[in-house]
Amino acid sequence: MKIGELSRRTGIGIDTVRYYERQGLMRPANRMASGYRLFDEQDVARLHFIRRAKVLGFTLEEIGELLALSDHRDEDMASMKAVATARLADVERRLAELERMRDGLRTLVDACPGHGAMARCPILNALVEDAA
């Protein structure tokens, strides 16, 4: 199949497919005499894998590592778990930071009456204090 059909079947844009190919996430496509790239079902499966990994928050570098690991299905799964465990720890750190940000913003929003002189705005004053 040509790149347009691959794009339609996977929901991944043509430019993104080309980018993944340049980044080594996709094997170089076979080419027709006319120069058109030719893809197969393995390419469809690989793009679905990449898409699902991105949804889970893996970076392209990590996805490349996961793809390399997935090519060795007879080996022990410890390395796959290690990569996923590291990603989970990163997500949990980011969630903790987002919760801290939410709590701080909630405190400021609750403290602001929403009317009156801007000079007395607790949100503005907190931002000015943090900057100083």
DSSP string of 63-119, one letter each residue: HHHHHHHHT-TTS-THHHHHHHHHHHHHHHHHHHHHHHHHHHHHHHHHH--S-S-GG
Tens digits of residue pLDDT in 46-67? 999 999 999 998 999 999 999 9
pLDDT band at 28 (very low <50, low <70, confident <90, very high): confident
Beta carbons within 8 Å of 83's beta carbon, 6+ residues apart: 58, 62, 65, 66, 69
Q: Is pLDDT of 130 > 60?
A: no
pLDDT at site 131: 52
Mean pLDDT of 74-95: 90
